[in-house]
Chains A and B, each alone.
Chain A
Amino acid sequence: GAVVSQHPSRVICKSGTSVKIECRSLDFQATTMFWYRQFPKQSLMLMATSNEGSKATYEQGVEKDKFLINHASLTLSTLTVTSAHPEDSSFYICSATNLDRDGYTFGSGTRLTVV
């Protein structure tokens, strides 16, 4: 139990375009999901907290107009990187917590490369 599915696993896009990443909780409902970014050899950095039915909460320094988050249902959150630039190239990971379990369940991550 407690599986989080993330798609796509890899995406290459052109500079200036937008990319959508999906995060689904498959066997539990997640009122809250989290989006992280990880650069090589660095720690996971929390970008935002996605709340079902309400606006996301962004961490300091994260542009909410650039990283659009939608959490329209109890099992799906999406992150859209708008007007992507090469510096947005990174590993994006979502997570959710199932209140019946300790710990957080993470998706398998999305490797975004902006060319």
Chain B
Amino acid sequence: SQKIEQNSEALNIQEGKTATLTCNYTNYSPAYLQWYRQDPGRGPVFLLLIRENEKEKRKERLKVTFDTTLKQSLFHITASQPADSATYLCALDPYGNNRLAFGKGNQVVVIP
């Protein structure tokens, strides 16, 4: 079966440190992968998209890597701040028809 897996345990991290989240997928060959932030009771907010031919993408304090051999993406928040506390979702388009499939998300708690 096709799966998108994210760590179900919340990541508690000290302010200023780097938070690293993992997204693993099986039985897909996506052309790109996306990361979103979701706050409680709100819709997801798009953060970054990385394509299959890109190894790494950066946006301000965020960095995403994409390893199509390992079928894995890593999401990094550097110099984390309490305002970064949220759930982060990875998503991909399994069939190239814009119908996104999401992981369950990984909660990050940045401790001041």
Q: Which of A34, A46, A111 contacts B41 (CB 8 A)?
A: A111
Interface string of A88-111 (1 = CB under 8 A from B): 000101010100001111111101
Mark the stretch among A11-19, A36-44, A64-72, A77-85 that contacts chain B: A36-44
With the chains together, A77 CA to B49 CA distance in Å?
25
Q: Which residues of B contact A45 (CB under 8 A)?
A: 102
Q: Which residues of A contact B104 (CB under 8 A)?
A: 41-43
Number of A-B pairs whose CB atoms are under 8 Å?
57
Docked-complex contact A105 and B42, CB < 8 angstroms: no
Do A49 and B99 contact each other (CB < 8 Å), given the known contacts A103-B34, A103-B49?
yes
Docked-complex contact B41 and A102, CB < 8 angstroms: no
Docked-complex contact A44 and B49, CB < 8 angstroms: no
Q: Which residues of A contact B89 (CB under 8 A)?
A: 43-44
In the assembled complex, A25 has its CB within 8 A of some CB on chain B: no
With the chains together, A6 CA to B89 CA distance in Å?
20
With the chains together, A104 CA to B36 CA distance in Å?
9
Q: Residues of A with Cβ closer than 8 Å to B?
A: 4, 6, 32, 34, 41-46, 49, 59, 91, 93, 95, 97, 102-109, 111
